[in-house]
Amino acid sequence: MQKFAVFISGNGSNLQAIIDSVANGEIKAELSLVISSTDKAFGLKRAEKAGIKTLVFSPDNYTNRQSVDRDIVIALKEHKIDFLVLAGYMRLLTPYFIKEYPNKIINVHPSLLPSFKGAHGIKDAFTYGVKQTGVTVHFVNEKMDNGPIILQDTVKINEEDTLETLEAKIHRVEHRIYPQAVVLMADQRLKVKGRRVTILEKPEVKAENSQ
């Protein structure tokens, strides 16, 4: 069974959706670790309630980003983590980190990438006046919100919508499709070629003696 870690920085509502999907057997993988960039993240309480080990790596305790990431990677190796799920983790990973887990890190973004990248995807789409936006789950690479796309779903913006109602609609979609992406990772059903991600009916079987 695959082991994975979830990275958070705040409330952890996507973490909760993933915890629930593991508990009901939809995600057939072990959520072994929740890592936070701050000890004030409410998501830590969600993890502790579910009996999941938590670790905090505050950037305030380090001189640079790579030092933080090196310690996190050491912890991930110790816990034999197979893949990583970013769920509201408000820090950019260093190239060093990403090279340690190529095509093994996924993230959820509240827009239809490549539109409205960055930390304010919902507000930017709403302010721009688009008629629909959505949610994207993608692999993480060295550029922000740039990795190959795994899943997307649309959210219609109605005339009566406010920023708050749009945020609620976006979060409902996130909580539905992000666990679906974790299922695909856990079942090893994603094949990446360039920017294309193929969802396999069954996981690829590798020969025992392959290197």
Active-site choice (109, 120, 138, 171)? 109
Residue type at 89 in one-letter notation = Y
What DSSP state is assigned to residue 59?
A: G
171 belongs to the catalytic site: no
The H or E element spanning position 122 is helix 121-128
Angle of helix 163-186 relative to helix 13-23, nearest 10 degrees, comes to 40
Give the CA radius of gyration of the chain.
Answer: 17
3-state SS, residue 169: helix
3-state SS, residue 18: helix
Q: Which residues are catalytic?
A: 109
